[in-house]
Amino acid sequence: MSGFFITGTDTGVGKTLFSAALLHALRGIGARAVGMKPVAAGADNVDGVWVNEDVALLRAASGVDAPAELVNPYLFREPIAPHIAAEHKGVVIEIPRIAAARDALADLADVVVVEGAGGFRVPLGPTRDTADLAVRLGMPVILVVGMRLGCINHALLSAEAIAARGLPLVAWVANRIDADMAAYAENLDALRARLTVPLLAELPNMAPVDPARAARFIPPLKLTELIGNIGKSE
């Protein structure tokens, strides 16, 4: 069991919250878990060090103190699309470099939780995108669905794109980002009926973000079964 690749139906749907919560939950069942955010855009200067909030959350939730350059190989200060941020800096995002960092993290931990940037097809350069990265890493995929109007279409299209790349979608997560979403239960039922993989967790609307609290909504038995099933198929 090397880990999971976390993608989402869009940007801002709670990938980082779930990824950090998953790290807490994995630690809760006795696994040495470490988080990774290969590409992050948007950083603040904290005491002379550029810090991305998502990366900081993943590092705080990890059970392994890994080097920053492995956890986050590419950090851009501008909070814009990664490929545009990279172009502004004259940087080429190299997928082999990210893969090497993931492999190094795998040597330090039982499970590596890799959080993608934005949705599944977010560009990383002129000819590469996050889907190409996911294929290179070859990890089981968990899809975070931001529960709001339009989420059914976004979730089904994302699931189709994941399948088209030959990657195993092993679970999905419902994150209630819109606290006032109309017909929430009906939308959840529609997704349950159409996504052919288990619903791993249903996260409530949460402000402020609290990964440790969110971890309580990931049932340990479901997580253990998921890991066991993946292990049997490998």
Could you give the residue numbers annotated as active site?
37
- Where would I find the beta strands (DSSP E) of 70-147? 74-76, 111-119, 141-146
**Using N-to-C axis directions, what is the helix angle for 130-137 and 151-164, rounded to 10°?**
50
Q: How far apart are CA 4 and CA 134, in angstroms?
A: 10
Tokens of 192: 């349950």
Going by their DSSP bridges, the two strands 44-46 and 49-51 should be labelled as antiparallel
Confirm if 34 and 109 have CB atoms less than 8 A apart. Answer: yes
- Where would I find the beta strands (DSSP E) of 91-140? 111-119
Q: How far apart are CA 160 and CA 84, in angstroms?
A: 26
Q: How far apart are CA 44 and CA 8, in angstroms?
A: 24
Q: What is the helix (H) or strand (E) element at residue 88, kind and residue range?
A: helix 82-89
